[in-house]
Amino acid sequence: ALLDRIAATQNLQDLESVRVSLLGKSGEITAKLKSLGSMDPDTRASEAPKIHALREQVTDALTTRKAALENAELERRLAGERVDLSLPAPQALQGTVHPVSQVMDELAEVFADLGFSVAEGPEIETQWYNFTALNMPEDHPARAMQDTFYLEPRDGEAEPRVLRTHTSPVQIRTMEKTPPPLRLIAPGRVYRSDSDATHTPMFHQIEGLVIDKNITLGHLKWTLETFLRAFFERDDIAIRMRPSYFPFTEPSAEVDVGYSVDKGRRVVGGQEGWMEVLGSGMVHPRVIANCGLDPDEWQGFAFGTGVDRLAMLKYGMDDLRAFFDGDIRWLKHYGFRA
Ligand code: PHE
């Protein structure tokens, strides 16, 4: 009958009160155990094993019932909490390709068609690679042309390292380790302490370098024209080369691209005006020699341009700082599908 009471319980609370009524301080079985003390020895000898056996049976029955009730409770909850697959799913935000990455890819594609490979270099540079090897010896005034971030000097370091101010050090690194002929581009991040609507302290450049025999300014002009036409996807692109100065090229030229005005916006193509898009020139013989090559045997041209600038021109963006704000509305507006 005791066991029936246990089996009849319908939930964990009922079971607990049955347990207390049997095994608790004033429970029925507890009382039987206590009564053993007042029995005469013969009765006790015969009763004790029965009472102990009963207690064991009850304890087992309680444990079994408890497990069964817990299991039933779990089943009930699982049935109640079933996932409703017919509910509409919350809208997941989908990532897009950042305009800078997109434009880097477009540039790499255009140059790949011209037989250029892609080279890379570190963003933390020694002054040798960022300046000296590029024909900007110490206290050369050209070092002041670029607002440089200097790193804290490390122990035993002769000159502090810098955040590279341009992608031109990749020219040196590649010429040092790869025998010419060379045809490469080097896209990447560069740093200058400068910030306004058209300058951010970190921005992106793409460097171009060709080293071969009998390379002339004509090759440079053709390459730039071909690249700009392919990148801006217009055949009517005109370029203009203006004499300029870079320590690592001689002669040097700044390159302007013709634009026209469409609904108040400057659009590349046509010839209503000119705007500057890149720096270029014939690699200085001293730079070639600094890389261990014979400048009488090898010549070449180089150019460098701002990727962010090219993106702004191609896609009509007006504030460079927006590129790096991470504003999701801007990213959505200009975001490119993966
Ligand atoms: N490194 C130059 C700059 O950042 C650009 C450049 C590259 C000019 C290669 C000439 C040749 O302004």
pLDDT, tens digit only, all 338 positions of the chain = 788 999 999 999 999 999 999 999 999 999 999 998 899 999 999 999 999 999 999 999 999 999 999 999 899 888 888 888 898 888 887 788 889 999 999 999 999 999 999 999 999 999 999 999 999 988 887 677 678 999 998 888 888 999 999 999 999 999 999 999 999 999 999 999 877 777 789 999 999 999 999 999 999 999 999 999 999 999 989 999 999 999 999 999 999 999 998 888 888 888 899 989 999 999 999 999 999 999 999 999 999 999 998 998 888 887 778 888 888 888 888 877 65
Could you tell me which of 272, 294, 275, 274 has the C-alpha nearest to residue 283?
294
- For a mutational test of ligand 1's pocket, the pick from 136, 143, 166, 174, i.e. the residue with the most ligand atoms closer than 8 A to its C-beta, is 166
- For tokens 């939930």, name the residue: 11
Phi-psi region of 262 (alpha: psi -120 to 50; beta: other; left: phi over 0): beta
Report the alpha-carbon distance of residue 124 to residue 138 in Å, rounded: 18
State in Å: Cα 187 to ligand 1 middle: 13
What residue owns the CA closest to ligand 1's atom 10? 280
Closest ligand 1 atom to residue 304 Cα is: 7
The pairing of strands 124-125 and 239-246 is: unpaired
pTM of the entire structure?
Answer: 0.72
Residues forming a β-bridge with 299: 212
Give the DSSP per-residue string, 136-163. --TT-GGGGGS-PPBPPPPTT-SS--EE
- For a mutational test of ligand 1's pocket, the pick from 129, 182, 207, 246, i.e. the residue with the most ligand atoms closer than 8 A to its C-beta, is 246
- Pocket of ligand 1 from Cβ distances under 6 Å: 166, 168, 207, 246, 249, 279-281, 302-304
State in Å: Cα 189 to ligand 1 middle: 14
- 312 and 221 Cβ atoms separated by less than 8 Å: no
- 18 and 10 Cβ atoms separated by less than 8 Å: no
Closest ligand 1 atom to residue 190 Cα is: 4
Angle of helix 217-232 versus helix 307-315 axis, rounded to 10: 50
Residue 250 assigned ligand-binding role: yes
Report the alpha-carbon distance of residue 50 to residue 42 in Å, rounded: 14
State in Å: Cα 319 to ligand 1 middle: 23
ipTM of the complex: 0.98
Q: Tens digit of pLDDT for each residue in 216-263?
A: 999 999 999 999 999 999 998 999 999 999 999 999 999 999 999 888
pLDDT of residue 145: 66
What residue owns the CA closest to ligand 1's atom 5? 304
Q: What are phi and psi of 250, to 5 degrees?
A: -160, 115
pLDDT of residue 324: 87
Cα 225 to the chain's mean position, in Å? 33
The identity of residue 6, as a single letter, is: I
Q: What tokens does 273 get? A: 């005006």
Mark 144-172 as b/e (b = at least 16 C-beta within 10 Å): eebebbeeeeeeeeeeebbbbbbbbbbbb
State in Å: Cα 297 to ligand 1 middle: 23
Q: What are phi and psi of 220, to 5 degrees?
A: -60, -50
